[in-house]
Amino acid sequence: MNLKERAKKLKTDIPALFIAMKKKETPITAKIVAGLTVVYALSPIDLIPDFIPVLGYLDDVILLPSLAALAIRLIPPEVFDKCREEADGLWTGGKPKKWYFALPIVLLWLLIMYLIIKAIWF
């Protein structure tokens, strides 16, 4: 499977993960990992900003597909297959950008800045 095919598959897997989070058959661990994946995918702010050379795009290329693969492994295959069918064509107009999905990333960066300032001044 080439990179284009993987990216296209990821485009349908993220909405399928969102749908799988709502299913009773999905284990709690899978729901947590799927939730993290969906929040990170929909967040307009990346953990590592894209303007940082190499590392900025590395998180999009490695982190998001890795989280999605982990969540998919934790979901029973028959449940995820149904979710994929439901999610087919869900994002035809492009992925939604919700600013409230950026809140966890913003909070993480604020915590990191606080710890750095605290380490420098104290």
Q: List, for residues 21-70, the tens digit of each pLDDT value.
A: 989 999 999 999 998 888 887 776 777 777 777 777 777 778 888 889 99
How far apart CA 22 and CA 64 sit, in angstroms, is: 20
Model confidence at 96: pLDDT above 60: no
Average pLDDT over residues 3-10: 71
Q: What single-letter DSSP state applies at residue 53?
A: T
Tokens of 1: 């499977």
What's residue 121's pLDDT? 83
In this prediction, residue 9 has a pLDDT band, given cuts at 50, 70 and 90, of: confident
In this prediction, residue 71 has a pLDDT band, given cuts at 50, 70 and 90, of: very high
Cβ 16 vs Cβ 80: under 8 Å:
yes
How far apart CA 81 and CA 90 sit, in angstroms, is: 15
What's residue 93's pLDDT? 61
Q: What single-letter DSSP state applies at residue 92?
A: T
Q: Where are the alpha helices (DSSP H) in the chain?
A: 3-21, 28-42, 55-58, 64-74, 77-87, 103-121
Model confidence at 110: pLDDT above 70: yes
Give the dihedral sign, CA 24/78/38/19.
Answer: negative
